[in-house]
Each structure stands twice: as C-alpha cells, then as structure tokens.
Amino acid sequence: MMHAWKTDFEHIVKELGLAKKRIGVLEDLVSQSKISQSTYDYLYKGYRTEAESLEERREELFERLKDYADEMEEQVRAFERRIGSVEARRVAEEMDEDLYNEQSQALQLSLRGLVEELKDVKDSLAVLEASELKLTPKTTVAEAEPGEKIRQRVTA
C-alpha cells in the first residue's frame, strides 16, 4: 500500500533532480557560448521559478513528514507500553495463554508495521534534506575585451 506522502515524495525528488540538471546544463551552455545571454536569462528565469516552487513543496513535505514521524514515534511508545502491560498481566496470571498469545501477536505485528513505516519516513526525510535546492547566482557573460568573454556571478 502506497501512502499519499510517498507519491508526493517521489514526484518532488524526481522533479528537483530534473530542475537541478536543467539549471546546470543551462549554466554550461551559456559558459560555452552555445546559447546567448538573452536566451539564458529567459530560460533561467523560468527554470528558477519552477525550482523555487519545487523547493517550497519540498520544505512543506519535509515538515509534514517530520510531524508524521513524531506521531508515529509516540504510537510506537504506546504499543510498547501495551505490550509490556500484556506481558505483566500474563506473568501475574491475569490472562490465559491463548488470550496472551492472541494479543501479543497482534500487538507485535502492528508494532513491526509501524516501525517499518517509521523507518521509511525517516529515510525519506534524509533524502528530502539532501535534495534541498540551493540556487546559485546566475551566470552572465560579459565582454572583457573585444572578442574575449568572461563569466561573472551576479545575484538574482
């Protein structure tokens, strides 16, 4: 079963990778004089706007997943307390063997599923954190002397 956050996660990570690649290729093309500065400026503006939107979505998903992980950690603690309670009741002979086995197995199964999902969320948080899009200032090509081009970084 795929959770809604997982679909968002996969889409955002994929699109962020493409956005980084597009901007990098654009930087290379202008620095190699394969495209004009005006073409670069036009394309860069669109790519940067798209990248900024993706970065906002990445940040929102990151915060949402952090909150979800916190909730799941609390649920793990609750399951562990409940399992401890069942164990104590069994040892105190308040519960017969069949009921103990039934409850213990159900709780353990639920706990395992929750722990696996929590690990998946934490792994996804690490990927999202590493996927942060750090946009560098755009490149401009200026004439130093007639026929000699130099690259400069300017803040956008």
pLDDT at 87 over 80: yes
pTM of the predicted model, to two decimals?
A: 0.76
pLDDT at 146 over 80: no
Report the residue count for the chain. 156
Tell me which residue of 58, 25, 23 sits closest to 156, measured CA to CA: 23
pLDDT at 152 over 80: no
Please give the pLDDT value at position 134.
80
The predicted-structure confidence for 54-66, as pLDDT tens digits, reads as follows: 999 999 999 999 9
The predicted-structure confidence for 89-137, as pLDDT tens digits, reads as follows: 999 999 999 999 999 999 999 999 999 999 999 999 999 999 988 876 5
Q: Contact, 131 vs 27, CB < 8 A?
A: no
Please give the pLDDT value at position 149.
46
The predicted-structure confidence for 7-50, as pLDDT tens digits, reads as follows: 999 999 999 999 999 999 999 999 999 999 999 999 999 999 99
Q: H/E/C letters for each residue in the chain?
A: CCCHHHHHHHHHHHHHHHHHHHHHHHHHHHHCCCCCHHHHHHHHHHHHHHHHHHHHHHHHHHHHHHHHHHHHHHHHHHHHHHHHHHHHHHHCCCCCHHHHHHHHHHHHHHHHHHHHHHHHHHHHHHHHHHCCCCCCCCEEEEEEECCEEEEEECCC
Span 134-153, mean pLDDT? 51
Q: Contact, 20 vs 41, CB < 8 A?
A: no
pLDDT at 145 over 50: no
